[in-house]
Structure 1
Amino acid sequence: MSIATPVLSSTRRALRPLIAALAVGSFIAGASVPAAARGPDGIADVAEKVIDSVVNISTTSTVEAKNSGEGGGNRGATPQLPPGSPFEEFFEDFFKNRGGRGGEKGGGMQPRKTNSLGSGFIIDASGFVVTNNHVIDGADEITVIMNDGTKIKAELIGVDKKTDLALLKFTPVKPVTAVKFGDSDKLRLGEWVIAIGNPFSLGGSVTAGIVSARNREINNGPFDSYIQTDASINRGNSGGPLFNLDGEVVGVNTLIISPTGGSIGLGFAVPSKTVAGVIEQLREYKEVRRGWLGVRIQPVTDEIAESLNIKPARGALIAGVDDKGPAKPAGLEPGDVVVKFDGKDVKEPKDLSRIVAGTAVGKAVDVQIIRKGKEETKKVTLGRMEDDKPVQASLKAAPEAEKPATQKALGLDLTALSKDLRTKYKIKDSVKGVVVTGVDSGSDAAEKRLAAGDVIVEVAQEAVTNAADVKKRIDAVKKDGKKSVLMLVSNGEGELRFVALSLQ
């Protein structure tokens, strides 16, 4: 003990400068953790500035109750319990009281009112409010609840189900605070954002986080391109604003991904660039009028890009052109690759879909395409997208026909189209080409989901009418040193798509 003590003291004296430095470092690090956890100091200032513009949305809906049948009273709505169960009488009395008519013969539960709560925000001092469509969908009454508790009835101006947005209007009883849209395109990954809303009906709540991702596609709709954030968003936050640190709305909080129903840091907001355009149209027309090009598009894979001499792979490949659409008279054709639309770059098909939808109906725009390796520009006047799709009539099964002679190429059994084959595979008379009657299971064609009944319309952008044409075009492409061959394929209904098959 006595020997160890001087040695310990000597060591401490020698290490004193290092210990002091570590202590200072620990203090600084310890001070920085809470600072990082609470985010920038400006969050409180932003929240104080915009909190009165955020409102709660209360809706009331009438739900029709189902009757269990004559003499059943309300028993159809009660839990199914074993006869004589001690809870049987309790539940029966409970549901009778809710039904109003009890167990009278022919009686049933009366229609009842249900309430739900969401969020919204004021964009105009005259009382316009933005929220989600799913917050007010099916509502009989809509009430806007201000931050000070004032309740005011609101009317529905219009909705857009494709982006899940709705516009409401109420008459303010006193001056209100309105907020402006910011530019969501300028958001950076890691940038701080603030969500304000009505989670779990608790009233105005402020949470903060960062932008985790932009242009996030989660297959929730035709135009989904969400801002992903780890700011806490829960049930009731739907329709509420996502602010940047300038107090501008950069998104509308719309949904979360969660196995529990609570926030796990995966919240998604519709970007303000989308919201502003939709709301502008709802204010003017009470509906959304989207541009329509009249084409079917697909991605440009590396194989397709190699076949079309496009470097690097980019754009939206036109697989089909609507005979009644704007693209047809403008000269757009299957096989064209759109790389720029109205001055905006098209990197992939979803870019083209969003740009076209956001372009004014009737506007004449320049469409830059690549056709057979060369760039061209076409002028297109956009039509209006129609929501209704024609219902295809069902076709009866056709009898088996005698199997004609076939030729093989790239794992495909190819046969000239005949009346019997059209009947067997339900192929319309307007579809021209060479029919696939079989596919080798281990071939690239099978991996690309070609199947019996598909029709090869073009090979290497040249029309084919028989199996010999197909083989001839394939051999020509091989001689050119290509690694794959591009085929235009139709289904029986005439819907086209491009498929690049490996030649190796």
Structure 2
Amino acid sequence: MLSMQRWMIVATSSLLLGWSSLGMAQGLPDFTELVEEVSPAVVNISTSQKAVSRPSGMAPGMPDLEGMPPLFREFFERGFPQQGPQAPREREAPQSLGSGFILSKDGYVLTNNHVIADADEIFVRLSDRRELQAELVGADPRSDLALLKIEAGDDLPVVRMGKSSDLKAGEWVLAIGSPFGFDYSVTAGIVSAKGRSLPNESYVPFIQTDVAINPGNSGGPLLNLDGEVIGINSQIFTRSGGFMGLSFAIPVDVAMDVVQQLKEDGSVQRGWLGVVIQEVNKDLAESFGLPKPAGALVAQIQPDGPAEKGGLQVGDVILSFNGEEIIMSSDLPHAVGRVRPGEDATLVVMRDKKRKTLKMEIGALPEDDSVAAVAPSTSAPASADNRLGVVVAELTEEQKSNLDVRSGVIIREVRQGPGAMVGLRNGDIITNLDNQPVESVDAFEKITADLPTNRSVSMRVIRQGRASYITFRLAS
């Protein structure tokens, strides 16, 4: 009897597993019709340079790595053995290989900027094997997008555009491209996350997927199950040089705004506030009176920039921009970049532990907004008899002018104490302490003497021209 019960349990379990597997199989998407529909509008892109001087030690056949994302450069450096010293030579040769897709019947093609960067000639190969020379309409390195134009009649196959804003994590997505030159390779996966920020890519809220992407997929379309383009495959994260399950695509909503500007002007303008921001962690949130870590903390303001003219102050925490909540500091550049220069924007900030609404005109993002470095101090140091354990001195007028600060003190020596524990260094400039401006050495000593214990205290520090906030706690 016992053996019969066991058999029934095993049999029932097997039956249930079979039904479950059958249900999963029936629920999986079939991509065949989608691929047949979209593939004709996907193209292969190659470039050439009329004069190429190979540096010494570069392997023959290795593509030009200049302009490629760091992850792709690493892939090619690993894949091609290093050679001994060789004399440079000039020749015409393919320099990059990527993908793209046709936007309109009259021949506009979208791809990545790094696919065509520094090219003398660009070639587009269509699904019917025709190869045409393309004209570069315009490129935008900040979004890594380039718009091309080919002359091939007025009845080219085109893709249908979707809305990346409608995407949800977990959705099925599909990529078509030419990894390693294997044309019209199809890979599928799901959306892993939205709004990802990558290093040095502040103005693109990337779509993260687990779709297999490799060199050659760059510029190809990322599609939803309706066959609509919702992203442009752009980058991968890898430690080995190959695909590791982390792929990043430019949202089509961002891309189409770039395309429109490239068509009209040949270049792209983005909104700019003129601030240096940082993340708000738990300790900073406590220090600034926030109920939870959120927002973008303004650590520095560009002189005569939109933020300064609009009344934004150092130490403000930006909580929302044009009604869009700022959760992570990286959300702010995405939101500001979408605003056309000259338009007004509304910001909600936390200042002195109170919410405040500001309205200001957004400027145009400049090519270079670097901040001047700090000159060494020549003033006499003050006493180090303070609770931070640092020797400070008054700022010179030259230092104030270089940094565009009205006041502050410069650290001349860091001794044993809380200052050393939080990483303060000689040459650091302290402009705010415990949400109070540091007007002078005397003010610094007074604020330090009155610092609270057993709670987070914020300090604004300028190091090598760049400002940031740090926090610390003093024991009772």
TM-score of the superposition, structure 2-length normalised? 0.84
Give the CA deviation at 1:254: 1.0
Cα deviations by residue, 1:426-458 (Å, 9 ceiling, x for unpaired): 9869552222222245x4433443212222223
Question: Please, which of 268, 271, 276 is the counterpart of residue 288 of structure 1?
Answer: 268
Q: Structure 1 58/114 Cα, relative in aligned 2: closer, same or farther at 3 Å?
A: closer
Distance 2:58 2:169 in 1: 53
Shift of 1:334: 1.0
**Equivalent AA in structure 2 for residue 408 of structure 1:** D
Match of 1:414 in 2: 391
Q: CA deviation at 1:189?
A: 2.0
CA distance in 2, matches of 1:192, 1:22: 30
Residue type of the alignment partner of 1:142: I
- 3-state DSSP class of the match of 1:52? helix
Listed as ranges, the matches of 1:59-458 within 5 Å are 59-65=47-53, 109-173=89-153, 175-389=155-369, 404-417=381-394, 432-440=407-415, 443-458=417-432
Aligned partner of 2:456 in structure 1 is: 484
- How high is the TM-score relative to the length of structure 1? 0.79
Q: Across the two proteins, how many residue pairs are aligned to each other?
A: 451
What does the per-residue CA deviation read over 1:402-434, in whole Å, with 9 as the maximum and x for residues that have no partner? 964413334332334166x989x9986955222
Shift in Å at residue 233 of structure 1? 1.4
Cα deviations by residue, 1:134-166 (Å, 9 ceiling, x for unpaired): 111121211221112122221111111112111
Distance 1:404-1:359 versus aligned 2 partners, 3 A rule: closer
CA RMSD of aligned residues (A): 3.4
3-state SS of 1:120 partner: strand
Give the AA of the match of 1:306.
Answer: E
Distance 1:65 1:467, change over 3 A: closer
| 8 Å Cα contact 2:213-2:247 kept in structure 1 | yes
CA contact (8 A) 1:432 1:455 kept: no
Give the aligned residue type for 1:498: Y
Shift of the 392–367 alpha-carbon distance from structure 1 to 2, 3 Å rule, reads closer
Q: What is residue 499 of structure 1 aligned with on the other side? A: 470
| Alpha-carbon separation, structure 1, partners of 2:443 and 2:281 | 25
1:491, CA displacement in angstroms?
4.1
The residue number in structure 1 matching 2:66 is none
Larger radius of gyration: 1
Post-superposition shift, 1:461?
3.2
Structure 1 residues 291, 428: CA separation in 2 closer, same or farther (over 3 Å shift)?
Answer: closer
Tell me the secondary structure at the aligned position of residue 458 of structure 2: strand
Contact in 2 for aligned 1:431/1:490 (Cα 8 Å): no
Letter in 2 for 1:21: T
Q: Is the 8 A contact 1:132 1:166 kept in 2?
A: yes
CA distance in 2 between counterparts of 1:392 and 1:453 reads 14
Give 2:427's aligned amino acid: G
Shift of 1:50: 1.4
Once the two structures are TM-superposed, the CA of residue 26 in structure 1 deviates from its matched residue by 4.9
> For structure 1, which segment, 285-294 or 171-180, has the greater mean C-alpha deviation from structure 2 after superposition?
171-180
What residue ranges of structure 2 are gaps of 5+ in the alignment?
61-85
| CA displacement 1:197-223 (0-9 Å, x = unmatched) | 112212112111111222233325223
- How far is 1:381 from its partner? 0.6
Residues 1:204 and 1:468: Cα distance change in structure 2 (over 3 Å): same
Over 3 Å counting, the alpha-carbon distance change for 1:449 and 1:365 in structure 2 is same
Deviation at 1:241, TM superposition (A): 0.5
Cα gap change, 1:183/1:67 in structure 2, threshold over 3 Å: closer, same or farther? closer
What one-letter code is carried by the residue in structure 1 that aligns with 2:367?
Answer: D
Residues 427 and 491 of structure 1 are in contact (CA less than 8 Å); yes or no, is this contact kept in structure 2? no
Instruction: Judge conservation of contact 2:102–2:108 (CA < 8 Å) in 1.
Output: yes
1: distance between equivalents of 2:382 and 2:371? 36
SS at match of 2:103: strand
SS at match of 1:409: coil
For structure 1, the 5+ residue unaligned runs are 1-9, 69-74, 79-98, 100-106
Distance 1:303 1:474, change over 3 A: farther
